[in-house]
Structure 1
Amino acid sequence: MAPVPGIEAPDPQPLRGRTVLVTGGAQGIGRGIAQAALGAGASVAIGDLDGDAGAACLRDWNVGERATFHRLDVGREAPVRGFVRAALRAHGRIDGLVNNAGIADPATGPLQRLELAKWRSYLDAHLSGTFLCSKHALAALAAHGAGSIVNIASTRAHQSEPDTEAYAAAKGGLLAFTHALAISAGPAVRVNCISPGWIATDAWRKPTARRTPKLRPRDHAQHPAGRVGTPEDVAALAVYLLSPAAAFVTGQEFVVDGGMTRKMQYV
């Protein structure tokens, strides 16, 4: 009788020898993903508008040339092009791109008073930024035949609070952009999307803004998983999607929300 083939144990450093770019990577979920990628063996280039937060990351991580920081406005094409080129010069290759940058506050006030410039700022920060970073990194990602893009959307692409139209529209657009690019860029580059729910990022800010999250028992209790999420919850999935273990996964959305969007709510 032929032996049953075994399942290999997970690689503790599945991103060893790879380079990952993370936009909005100096604080919050982006920092969590960048830090997890470093722990998984990758070199990391983070792009962020906040120079103090970027410098703090490099000090805290203390990994030498494996981590670089670049000031970046993802809504402008020239800085995005420069970010990708600088990452290639510093690390020699690009294997993964995490499009995480965006405006954190979803509330913009009543639609009747929402100015076109503010509406466009949300689309630029979330959706146009993802387009530009993907556009300029795509050739490098495809060069080795196994690139991976992970877009960070939100459960707000599926459900909403009042006065959040710009944020919801931008995040919803990311879902469609994800599956469209997965078809265009495959098989050399896989494209997937993570939609986080309530993620407490207070402890993942720059040192001057860092604090312990103020969470109540009822905040945790409304999640079927029993707690509010953390950047580590999103980062663990991002590392998997960036790694060779996810070679057969593309064009998909993964919701990381502790089960909240599956829980029926009655008033």
Structure 2
Amino acid sequence: MSKRVVLITGGAQGIGEAIVRSFVQAGEQVVFIDVNEEKGLSLLAQLREMGGHAHFICADVAKADDVKRVIKEIETKFGNLHVLINNAGVSWFHPLEEIEIETFDRILAINLRGPFLLAKFAAPLIKKSVQQNGEGAIINIASTRALMSEPHNEAYAASKGGLLALTHALANSLGPAIRVNAICPGWIDTTGGKDIRPEDHSQHPVGRVGTPCDIAEACRFLASEAAGFITGQKIVIDGGMTIKMQYVE
């Protein structure tokens, strides 16, 4: 099977970086985008030093012209696109009375408008690239905060809840050629264990806080033939935290 082309947004750090590394290590041709050019180029250099097939584009997913430029560059350079992973997102929390309307709009622009733009402009190329129904895949990285909340995260919760609705809408619109699913990560530590306490781990039935690799592995599965009968779904990956009753002692 020839290398697939995989596009990952927000790929220069955190969960996105883990997803990029996972697909590169699997031998895929990975294109990743991020607004942080310095970190993107640094990761690209590391991947190429390891012999990986990777390409970095600095772009803002909330800007239609940037997204169209990215898809055009992929089509020109590779001719194909098989998998899109919408990972780029921000999680700025503000009290309701204090959040600026512009901040609310920016969070929704990145977290929800971005995945919409990527799907809109990438779908024609994905459809042209796949040979059989279900070979194309779009994976949206949502959040457990689409399903439950805490104070001061109205914008983030709204954006991720909208992303789940966008997921099942896209699954209907783009099937059968493209499967569309969402992952809802719970507590994912992107610091390498810094400031994580034993009680943080104990809140999870599996006994630990999640890692970016947990999400990367799920992306690999949803993008594979093994997930060929899965579309329009939300997969909660949170170590069981959202199904555990929490009591203050």
The equivalent of 1:30 in structure 2 is 16
CA RMSD of aligned residues (A): 1.4
Structure 2 segments unaligned to the other structure (5+ residues): none
The equivalent of 1:91 in structure 2 is 78
Q: Give, in angstroms, the shift of residue 213 of structure 1.
A: 2.2
Find the structure with the greater CA-based Rg. 1
| 1:154-196 Cα deviation digits (max 9, x unpaired) | 0011111111000000000000000010011000000000000
Structure 1 segments unaligned to the other structure (5+ residues): 1-14, 204-211
Q: Give, in angstroms, the shift of residue 112 of structure 1.
A: 2.0
Q: Distance in 2 between matches of 1:64 and 1:89?
A: 22
Identical columns (%): 47
Q: Distance in 2 between matches of 1:167 and 1:228?
A: 21
Task: Say if 1:64 and 1:104 are closer, same or farther in 2 by CA, change over 3 A.
Answer: farther
The equivalent of 1:265 in structure 2 is 246
Q: Distance in 1 between matches of 2:233 and 2:105?
A: 26
1:197 and 1:229 in contact (8 A); partners too: yes
2:24 and 2:52 in contact (8 A); partners too: no
| 1:70-109 Cα deviation digits (max 9, x unpaired) | 001011100000011112223221000000111133x12x
Q: Distance in 1 between matches of 2:77 and 2:149?
A: 41
Is structure 2 residue 115 aligned with structure 1 residue 126? no
Q: 2:216 aligns with which of 230, 235, 239?
A: 235
1:153 and 1:175 in contact (8 A); partners too: yes
- So what's the TM-score if we normalise by structure 2? 0.94
Secondary structure, aligned partner of 2:88: coil
Which amino acid in structure 2 is aligned with residue 162 of structure 1? P
Q: Distance in 1 between matches of 2:45 and 2:209?
A: 28
The equivalent of 2:146 in structure 1 is 157
Q: Distance in 1 between matches of 2:236 and 2:80?
A: 29
2:143 and 2:185 in contact (8 A); partners too: yes
Which amino acid in structure 2 is aligned with residue 216 of structure 1? R
1:16 and 1:40 in contact (8 A); partners too: no
2:30 and 2:55 in contact (8 A); partners too: yes
The equivalent of 1:193 in structure 2 is 182
Q: Distance in 2 between matches of 1:104 and 1:24?
A: 13
| 1:196-231 Cα deviation digits (max 9, x unpaired) | 00101124xxxxxxxx52211111111111111001
Q: Distance in 2 between matches of 1:89 and 1:249?
A: 31
Q: 1:102 aligns with which of 68, 77, 89?
A: 89
Is structure 2 residue 47 aligned with structure 1 residue 57? no
- Which structure 1 residue ranges, 4+ long, deviate > 6 Å from structure 2? none
1:196 and 1:256 in contact (8 A); partners too: yes
Which amino acid in structure 2 is aligned with residue 235 of structure 1? A
Secondary structure, aligned partner of 1:122: helix
Q: Distance in 1 between matches of 2:2 and 2:38?
A: 28
Q: Give, in angstroms, the shift of residue 65 of structure 1.
A: 7.4
